[in-house]
Structure 1
Amino acid sequence: MRAPGRRAILRQSSSLPVWASILWRVVAVLALVGIAIGVHWFDRAGLRDNYDGSVSFIDVIYFTMISITTTGYGDIAPVTERARLFDALIVSPIRVFVVLLFIGTTYQFVFRRSWERWRMALLQEKLSGHIVVAGFGKTGSEAVDELIARGEDARRIVVIDPVQSHLDEAQKIGCIVLQADATRDATLNDVCVAKARALIVATGRDDTSILVTLTARHLAPDLTISVIVKAEDNESPARAAGATTVINPVSFAGLLLAGSCRGPHIADYMLDLASIDGAVALSERPVAPHEVGQPLSAITTGLGLRIYRQGGKIRFDSPEARNLQPGDTIVEVVTR
């Protein structure tokens, strides 16, 4: 389910380099001024120079510029109806276009960039404990939808993607967006990955996802990183790059298919655990102080399945599961 949203910036506005964007504006202004000068020179007989009575080419350039800039000293003036009609119908629109081009350039390269930098800095100050999603294709968007359905505030989710249409979709549901390459240190620093709660990597390419994971682990040694890979051979490189969780959708689909052969309800129950719409859910939490010393089977919050202790996994039927210890992490099945 997609929630309506209204929050987002951190984006790049144009694919053109700065010099090209400025150049086409300069060319447009020169072209408009050139048209006005050419017509004034062709119809110079309709102009009167009150200073020396002669209209030279320099006078035409001078008169055109003061007309476009609305200065108007009155020393040169149109005297024929054709010249005045040209100034009214042609020079006035040219004047408006030139002013708009100058204002647009000033806005884009001065005010807008300063505004976006200021607003970006303001957002960065508030980013802490957020979730970063690198890649907003089918998998990334589904992950964000599921996070929001589970109660995550969309304004606490930052989406990185190089495709503008993907960012538009993320922005509609309220996420903060950044159009950039998530494999770069600068990009992950811009989204404050060191202060994030978790990173979801779903770029659509295993090599890119592994590089994003490696970069993020370098910048945030304690960050929880979940990455999706398509090839089974890339699961180990992803873990070696620093991924906390590696998910292979093909392998997971195979598990569901194999499970369905053992019983018609096994796959259904596994999907029930994974989906927000299910009646039960998997939950992970630290052991509570009053549970220390008790067996895993004695917990009252749910059905204990596994204990994580000092980097190791302990099954529910293991002898070590009979004595919960401080620092243990419990994985359990709970009702919604």
Structure 2
Amino acid sequence: MPERRTSLPSRDHLALRRRGRLPAWASLMFRVGLALSLIGLVLAVHWFDREGLKDNVDGSVSFTDVLYFTMITVTTVGFGDIIPVTDRARMFDTFVVTPVRLFLWLIFLGTAYSFVLRHTWERFRMSLIQRRLTGHVVVAGYGVSGAEAVRELIRRGTPAERIVVIDCDDAALVEAEACGAAILHGDATRNATLEAVAIDRASAIIVSAGRDDTSILIVLTARGLAPDVPISVVIRSEDNEPLAHQAGADTVINPASFAGLLLAGSTRGRHLADYVGDLVAVGGPVALHERTVAEDEVGKPLSAIRTGLGVRIYRDGAPHGFWEAEAQSLAAGDLIVEICPNRQPG
């Protein structure tokens, strides 16, 4: 089972992260510069107010003594060999040096976490997540179609935590995470990205990248990594539909063509589009269902099934309507497409 928050652009990370305004090296240099600036400020004040310090070793306070005292006091509470003796020096150490010391420790700990501990922890989480990912649905692209597909999957009873969304847009990933899906910030055309979500152990892949060339490349990459996983893809140009099939897509959906079919059908009857909508949406009174023929149905006509209204069978990959001779005697291995009364999940 995938965890709910998983995102980064490479196979080494699966945790949501927004890209910072500064690159990693610049962020590190900024923290080092800030720490040195604070130490320099304390050093300067101690040097100019060195009369307020007392060296219990030799009684003389040199620049080396001031440098040593500054470094010791901003990192620890001091050793007592050099101490502030005037009220002004003591107040400075109390109200300036102590907050600086705490702030420097926060900088050091934050830097250690950001550049060392976090990456180690995320790699550990990555290995755990990858082992648990199985039977999930991968959605490559969280645009309009991808987002609606995720919502419909959830409405149909797919647990949100079994959906993994891949996208390069942080805002889209935030929306997907709000739905409860696992998320991965990355390029779905890359092998490493798809391997990071265990594409070969997925139950289905939905591709909706927004561009036909990108979607087809994702399909090609996914098919190479997961030869047996069903792939559905959204293609917006009719000319690209054959290419999507050649790339390995099992189902190619053209939203514009489908909308055109509904519009044209509505001219022949005002209820036709409503009924088609009922068939494809989980909220309607009827639903399309695909299943393998049952053992006790072999040899019977498609019209004799009791689970729903059989409208088509697929035999050896070829479709046959309920009126055709092939549908008059069901065979083992046939896939039945039927219209059933809608059963809401749960």
TM (norm. structure 2) is 0.91
| Shift of residue 257, structure 1, vs aligned partner | 0.3
Q: For each residue in 1:8-37, what CA deviation from the matched residue of structure 2 results, as whole angstroms up to 9, or x when unmatched? A: 232253525443332222222112111111
* Aligned residue runs from structure 1 range 54-73, under 5 A: 54-73=60-79
Distance (whole Å) between structure 2 residues aligned to residue 235 and residue 149 of structure 1: 28
Runs of 4+ in 1 over 6 A off after TM superposition: none
| Shift of residue 190, structure 1, vs aligned partner | 0.8
Distance (whole Å) between structure 2 residues aligned to residue 137 and residue 7 of structure 1: 19
- Give the match for residue 256 of structure 2: 250
- Give the match for residue 208 of structure 1: 214
- Give the match for residue 40 of structure 2: 34
**Is 2:262 the counterpart of 1:259?**
no
Report if aligned partners of 2:75, 2:101 keep a CA contact under 8 Å in 1: yes
**Is 2:171 the counterpart of 1:165?**
yes
| Shift of residue 310, structure 1, vs aligned partner | 1.3
Report SS of the residue matched to 1:159: strand
**Is 2:121 the counterpart of 1:122?**
no
Distance (whole Å) between structure 1 residues aligned to residue 43 and residue 151 of structure 2: 59
User: Sequence identity, in percent?
Assistant: 58
* Aligned residue runs from structure 1 range 37-116, under 5 A: 37-116=43-122
Distance (whole Å) between structure 2 residues aligned to residue 65 and residue 242 of structure 1: 65
Pick one of 264, 269, 278 that aligns with 2:275. 269
Q: For each residue in 1:36-67, what CA deviation from the matched residue of structure 2 results, as whole angstroms up to 9, or x when unmatched? A: 11221222222222223332222221111000
Q: For each residue in 1:184-207, what CA deviation from the matched residue of structure 2 results, as whole angstroms up to 9, or x when unmatched? A: 111111100000000111122222
Distance (whole Å) between structure 2 residues aligned to residue 324 and residue 213 of structure 1: 33
Amino acid of the residue matched to residue 91 of structure 2?
A: L
Report if aligned partners of 2:137, 2:164 keep a CA contact under 8 Å in 1: yes
Amino acid of the residue matched to residue 211 of structure 1?
A: L
| Shift of residue 250, structure 1, vs aligned partner | 0.6
| Shift of residue 71, structure 1, vs aligned partner | 4.6
| Shift of residue 320, structure 1, vs aligned partner | 1.6
Structure 2 alignment gaps of length 5 or more = 7-13
- Give the match for residue 10 of structure 2: none
| Shift of residue 133, structure 1, vs aligned partner | 0.8
Distance 1:179 1:326, change over 3 A: same
Amino acid of the residue matched to residue 330 of structure 1?
A: I
* Aligned residue runs from structure 1 range 168-317, under 5 A: 168-317=174-323
Distance (whole Å) between structure 2 residues aligned to residue 115 and residue 85 of structure 1: 42
Distance (whole Å) between structure 2 residues aligned to residue 66 and residue 203 of structure 1: 57
Amino acid of the residue matched to residue 247 of structure 1?
A: I
Distance (whole Å) between structure 2 residues aligned to residue 71 and residue 189 of structure 1: 51
- Give the match for residue 7 of structure 1: 4
Report SS of the residue matched to 1:144: helix
- Give the match for residue 3 of structure 1: none
Greater CA drift, 195-204 or 159-168: 159-168
- Give the match for residue 9 of structure 2: none
Distance (whole Å) between structure 2 residues aligned to residue 14 and residue 154 of structure 1: 22
Report SS of the residue matched to 1:30: helix
Q: For each residue in 1:245-285, what CA deviation from the matched residue of structure 2 results, as whole angstroms up to 9, or x when unmatched? A: 11111111100000001111111111111111111111111
Distance (whole Å) between structure 2 residues aligned to residue 12 and residue 34 of structure 1: 37
Report SS of the residue matched to 1:262: coil
Report if aligned partners of 2:223, 2:248 keep a CA contact under 8 Å in 1: yes
Report if aligned partners of 2:137, 2:203 keep a CA contact under 8 Å in 1: yes
Pick one of 16, 21, 26 that aligns with 1:20. 26
- Give the match for residue 318 of structure 1: 324
Amino acid of the residue matched to residue 158 of structure 1?
A: V
Amino acid of the residue matched to residue 186 of structure 2?
A: A
Report SS of the residue matched to 2:267: helix
Report if aligned partners of 2:288, 2:337 keep a CA contact under 8 Å in 1: yes
TM (norm. structure 1) is 0.94
Amino acid of the residue matched to residue 11 of structure 1?
A: A
Distance (whole Å) between structure 2 residues aligned to residue 329 and residue 171 of structure 1: 35
CA-based RMSD: 1.6
